[in-house]
Structure 1
Amino acid sequence: MSRPMQERAVRTRERILHAAAEVFDEYGYAGTSITRILERAGSTHGAMYFHFKSKEDLARAVIVEQAQGLKLPEKPAGLQQLVDLTLHLAFELQSNVLLRAGVRLAVEQEESGLREYSVYEWWIDQFRRELDEARQRGELLPEVDEAEFARILVASFTGTQVMSQIATRRVDLPERIALLWRYLLPGVAPAEVRERLVVSVERGRTPA
């Protein structure tokens, strides 16, 4: 395949993936059809099946690639960066359709039968690396297990965003995440560390 053809194929795949994200976000898995996705993408069945085998395959791609384009921290910086990252994700969920659709499909997997857990493991790893750095910096209580807390944080964030979506379509999600941290931090960080941490919704408006 020549370079122009390769680039065109990549663009076509991206267009279909993002159209699928928009439709999954609006209608959920059950309410989404391949025809509706292709109409949104302005593409053909042939182009879609060149890249994706089925609607299930498309949904899995949206789940797995939900973080595509996110500006995540390149290097771990500890507890403050972890707080900022979760607040930033709260804002991203308000506007980033690929992330939002990926999260919705990951949460609603009983509809599709996908059983795709790898994305949760990926987010756990992202949070865990900040916690490992926090441990090195002496920011965690001795009894805190970094791996356990990373899993708890992913679960807590997931549940909080679901409740925010139902209540306000995520309008209040940054405030809910800030509140979550105010209750979580006393269980993981010493008082002197908490005193210098900033849990502010405003810190989530720009990439961590």
Structure 2
Amino acid sequence: MARQQERARRTRAAIIRSAAVEFGKSGYAAASLNRILEGSRATKGAMYFHFDSKEDLARAVLESAVERYRVTSERWLARTDLGPLDVLHGMVDEVALRLENDIVIQAEFRLVIEPEFYRDAKAAGGRIVDRATRLLAVRAIEQKQLRADADPDRFARTLAAALAGQRYIVDVQGGPMDLRTRFQEALEVIVEAMATPEWADEFRRYGWRAAARLEELDI
């Protein structure tokens, strides 16, 4: 029984991964179930055992992406060896790294702008990052890294918009993605506008103290 359950788990994961590749490349409407099956090496019966339809499969991809964002935010929020803004930089850097390398995250980014999944955008992984960003902004104000008059909601909204904009610009321009550099630049512009002079002086001397590492991610 345990072997059968493990085999079923692996089959389901392989189908989701193949679906993420297909949705990320072709979008939802043009995605081919046959290509998904070919990529997963699963049978049609196995696919319909786990998923009722293409829409059900797409939502499984979205759920997998949300789980990745949750893991990312929780891992960085748990860091007690860093100040809030360095934690934020590490989290933003990991999001960029995932967008560059994680096919499930790439597929989610494509799916949530499809008409069939507009409503899902409200519960997408970006919302998890937004909440974590606001929490870190509050901590940064408390620890005098951001000014006392900084608005955590405004900070989080502005950063989310800046990062999304950078991601879309990369899509339009084409070519190799350098989201890590673009995301870091956006973060620095926003942070420096609201930072205390003391934090700004320290940042000029030492820079960021944390960054994401691809080998630490389950990709």
Same fold by TM-score, threshold 0.5 exceeded?
A: yes
**What is the identity, as a one-letter code, of the residue corresponding to 1:154?**
A
Aligned residue runs from structure 1 range 68-83, under 5 A: 68=67, 72-73=75-76, 75-76=78-79, 77-83=83-89
Aligned residue runs from structure 1 range 44-83, under 5 A: 44-66=43-65, 68=67, 72-73=75-76, 75-76=78-79, 77-83=83-89
Task: Render the CA deviation track for 1:26-75: whole Å, top value 9, x for unaligned.
Answer: 11112202222111111122222222222122222222321555654251
**What is the identity, as a one-letter code, of the residue corresponding to 2:50?**
H
Give every structure 1 segment of 4 or more consecutive aligned residues whose post-TM-superposition deviation is greater than 4 Å.
67-71, 204-208
Aligned residue runs from structure 1 range 194-205, under 5 A: 194-197=200-203, 203-205=211-213
2:30 maps to which residue? 31
Report the Cα distance in structure 2 between the residues aligned to 1:146 and 1:140, rounded to whole angstroms.
10
**What is the identity, as a one-letter code, of the residue corresponding to 2:76?**
P
C-alpha contact 2:111 2:117 (8 A) present in aligned 1: no
Identity %: 29
Report the Cα distance in structure 2 between the residues aligned to 1:192 and 1:168, rounded to whole angstroms.
39
Give the CA deviation at 1:11: 1.0
Report the Cα distance in structure 1 between the residues aligned to 2:57 and 2:118, rounded to whole angstroms.
11
Report the Cα distance in structure 1 between the residues aligned to 2:99 and 2:109, rounded to whole angstroms.
9
- How many residue pairs end up in the alignment? 204
**What is the identity, as a one-letter code, of the residue corresponding to 2:93?**
L
1:12 aligns with 2:7: no
1:118 maps to which residue? 123
Distance 1:135 1:16, change over 3 A: same
Give the CA deviation at 1:101: 1.3
**What is the identity, as a one-letter code, of the residue corresponding to 1:24?**
F
User: Unpaired runs of 5+ in structure 2?
Assistant: none
Distance 1:137 1:31, change over 3 A: same
- Taking structure 2 as the reference length, the TM-score comes to 0.80
1:109 aligns with 2:117: no
Report the Cα distance in structure 2 between the residues aligned to 1:138 and 1:49, rounded to whole angstroms.
54
- Taking structure 1 as the reference length, the TM-score comes to 0.84
**What is the identity, as a one-letter code, of the residue corresponding to 1:125?**
R
Task: Render the CA deviation track for 1:148-181: whole Å, top value 9, x for unaligned.
Answer: 4223322321221111122134522222112212
**What is the identity, as a one-letter code, of the residue corresponding to 2:110?**
R
Distance 1:25 1:113, change over 3 A: closer
Report the Cα distance in structure 2 between the residues aligned to 1:130 and 1:169, rounded to whole angstroms.
33
1:193 maps to which residue? 199
C-alpha contact 1:124 1:154 (8 A) present in aligned 2: yes
C-alpha contact 2:76 2:90 (8 A) present in aligned 1: no
Task: Render the CA deviation track for 1:121-146: whole Å, top value 9, x for unaligned.
Answer: 22222323322332332222222232
Report the Cα distance in structure 1 between the residues aligned to 2:169 and 2:189, rounded to whole angstroms.
17
